Amino acid sequence: MEERIIIVGAGQAGGELAAGLRKQGYKGRVLLLGDEAHPPYQRPPLSKGFLQGKVALTDLYLKPLATYERFDIELKTGTRVEAIDRSTRELSLKDGSRLAYDKLVLATGGRARPLSFPELDTARLENLFSVRSISDVEAMRGKFVPGNRLVIIGGGYVGLEVAAVAVQLGLHVTLLEAAPRLLSRVTGPEVSSFIEQLHRERGVEFRLSCQVRGLELDEAQRQVRGVSLACHGVPERLEADLVLVGIGLIPNTELASAAGLAVDNGIVVDEYACTADPNILAIGDCANQPSTYTGGRLRLESVPNAIEHARIAAATLMGKREPYAAIPWFWSDQYGLKLQMVGLSTGYEQCVTRGSVEGKEFSAFYLKDRRVIAADVIGRPAEFIAAKRLVSSRAEVDATRLGDAAVPLTSLAA
Ligand code: FAD
């Protein structure tokens, strides 16, 4: 019988893998199962151009539908997998049917972390949103009208991107962040304050070091009317027409853990994307993998990671052994300004900036032991490739020359 690979999760990683298998010449059956109504699509525009109405729905799709037919990929949308039976190598689907696999790839991504107020049934609230899927954006879009008051909980990339779209659409935006500065887990104070200033100039208000104490609801308990909070212990109440929660992601690992696979902040895989079960792989946002870059383990939430992880899994499934060795990188767009990040700045000793912060085109390099461990490149896309090389080469650099925009970065990476 023809071998059958089933990919659970028709998102960025799943879609890339299915196509990648065909490109590598895989001859067996490829089934791509996803519980959303759409074929695999790009999520980054959800908090950017799609929310703003500048990107059409079909432009989100990774590939036109015809490509799945052409590649003989059996794409089944609206199909939720409920359980894995590893002993019979079968999946149970929500509709009660079962599907046998030879190899299984979990590409289940994650879901938006909800607010945890035990007494609150957030699912009932009609103007409390998160942004993970097309349907999330479709549900909230009607509220993105001039004059509406939007409170955003969480100062990570998604919250900031939504803030940028919202003020440009004429909403009044207040963003609440628990940490004393924005993006505190992923960037240094210089870039945090630049981003804060960028948004303040456009009219976004911030409450930093702020704890959300609760939501005030209307009589029917269907609409949020206000958010109560405390900044530095001082209580405050903000009126809200809508609230967006952007406080991170919970990886979808339940299928794996119920099947007895190891889960530790993601489904545990090796550098070839394999779990401990030789027939099951995991890729993308849901997977926790070894990192040659940190020497430890990482679970990354980014498109480049999903693409690279899919490539590694395709190689593994084709019987090749290509370990994951990519350096983490990410991008964001806010007010048309491109922010590109490479590496992880955790534990850096020195931050060197290059270019003009005031002119909104500069790079921040994070150094440890005189080596660049990470960089944020803002409004200087031409510099990004060289910045990536600096991080991956781990070469020692001279901080003064690094900070001098007249010295080509390529000469430092030698
Ligand atoms: P996903 O794309 O989430 O796909 C997983 C799919 O699996 C989903 O469709 C899910 O519904 C489905 N699924 C889960 N469980 C089951 C099941 N049991 N049965 C069937 N299907 C199931 N990254 C960047 O690099 N740059 C950006 O600017 C950027 N912006 C972003 C903005 C937003 C608003 C969001 C949400 C993400 C953004 N990302 C960005 C992150 C990036 O989109 C993700 O890292 C990427 O989508 C991960 O791909 P994935 O395939 O692992 O997961």
Q: What separation in angstroms does the CA of 402 have from each of 194, 366, 376? A: 20, 11, 14
Ligand 1 contacts CB of residue 299 (under 6 A):
no
Ligand 1 contacts CB of residue 10 (under 6 A):
yes
Q: Which residues contact 332 (CB under 8 A, 6 or more apart)?
A: 157, 160, 161, 338, 339, 341
> What percent of the chain lies above the pLDDT cut of 90?
92
Ligand 1 contacts CB of residue 54 (under 6 A):
no
Per-residue pLDDT at 11? 98
CA of 306 to the centre of ligand 1 (A): 9
Query: Is the ipTM beyond the 0.95 threshold?
Result: yes
Closest-lying ligand 1 atom to the alpha carbon of residue 310: 51
Per-residue pLDDT at 111? 97
Nearest CA to ligand 1 atom 14: 108
Average pLDDT on 263-288 reads 98
Ligand 1 contacts CB of residue 36 (under 6 A):
yes
CA of 132 to the centre of ligand 1 (A): 7
Nearest CA to ligand 1 atom 41: 302
Ligand 1 contacts CB of residue 303 (under 6 A):
yes
Ligand 1 contacts CB of residue 351 (under 6 A):
no
88-105 pLDDT, tens digit per residue, is 999 999 999 999 999 999
Per-residue pLDDT at 81? 98
Pocket residue to mutate for ligand 1, from 48, 108, 263, 288, most atoms within 8 A of Cβ: 108
Q: Global pTM?
A: 0.96
Ligand 1 contacts CB of residue 15 (under 6 A):
no
Question: Maximum distance among all alpha carbons in the chain?
Answer: 68
Structure tokens at 371: 């080596």
pLDDT band of residue 397 (cuts 50, 70, 90) is: very high
Ligand 1 contacts CB of residue 332 (under 6 A):
yes
226-236 pLDDT, tens digit per residue, is 999 999 889 99
Q: Which residues contact 51 (CB under 8 A, 6 or more apart)?
A: 45, 131, 137, 140, 141, 144, 162, 165
Ligand 1 contacts CB of residue 44 (under 6 A):
yes
Average pLDDT on 319-337 reads 93
More confident residue, 116 or 128: 128
Ligand 1 contacts CB of residue 12 (under 6 A):
yes
Question: In whole angstroms, what is the distance from residue 249 CA to residue 371 CA?
Answer: 31
More confident residue, 413 or 365: 365
CA of 215 to the centre of ligand 1 (A): 28
